[in-house]
Amino acid sequence: MLCLTALTLVTPLPAVSQETETSPNESLLKEVRALRQRVAELELIEARLSRLEAMLLADMSAGEQHPVSDAIAVSAEPPTDYEVALADQSIQERIQVSGVVEAEAGYLKDFSDEQASDIVGATVAIAIEANLSADTVAVVSFLYEEDDTPFEVDEAFISHASGNSTWTIGQIYLPFGTYETAMLNDPLTLEIAETRETALLWQYQRGGLGLEAYGFNGDTDIDGRDTIQN
């Protein structure tokens, strides 16, 4: 019994010492991250200096002059937190590529013993999403459906969030109707009512309240006017 008690008192001690100690690798990792952030800041300042130099050369060619103090103020302006984070991101983190491939196989035998079978590439979809800023994203997607939809641009839009509102402009599927189903094939309501148009969409979300409004130029012209009336 005494030996067991001694073991229970001794075993927690190494765990405590490991939690309080900081390994050399952790300290080095912190230094590397701090240096990377500093390099990103210097790269942004260098980019601003290059733009300023080009502007000054253009003004000098046009016979205009800017005070030196203005040039110093522009070049010394610190970058924002998002600019630093964006510059520190790799191209893989700014652009995301996703996709889906669906294949369908079918077999049919009717009452007259007629048989039929087929394998088709039901859906091939690729989507590319790019983060342009902290609140702005651009999306382009491609779609192919064998014997139904040729390979084409399915959606292409830019979306910007501002507070509780989100503005989207481009080719999108309009938020009209709900077409959720547990079946393999799309429901008939989707085939009839799904609408893809180049539109301007406004969405508002606050708590449990959600509002959506959109406008686009439809195929029907009223009084011979080809304008946004839908």
Predicted confidence (pLDDT) per residue in 121-164, tens digit: 889 999 999 988 888 999 999 999 998 889 999 999 999 999 89
pTM attached to this predicted model: 0.54
Q: Which residues have CB under 8 Å from 131's CB, separation 6+? A: 86, 94, 95, 137
Q: What pairing do the DSSP bridges indicate for beta strands 149-162 and 115-131?
A: unpaired
Q: Which residues on neighbouring strands pair with residue 149, listed in sequence order? A: 145
Domain boundaries along the sequence of the chain: 26-88
Spatial contact of 75 and 56, defined as CB atoms under 8 Å apart:
no
98 pLDDT higher than 90: yes
Angle subtended by helix axes 24-62 and 81-88, to nearest 10: 110
Confidence of residue 97 (pLDDT cuts 50, 70, 90): very high
Tokens of 167: 């503005």
Spatial contact of 95 and 130, defined as CB atoms under 8 Å apart:
yes
Confidence of residue 69 (pLDDT cuts 50, 70, 90): very low
* Lowest-confidence region among 19-33, 69-83, 173-187, 199-213: 69-83
Confidence of residue 12 (pLDDT cuts 50, 70, 90): very low
58 pLDDT higher than 70: yes
In terms of phi and psi (left: phi > 0; alpha: psi -120 to 50; beta: otherwise), the region of 161 is beta
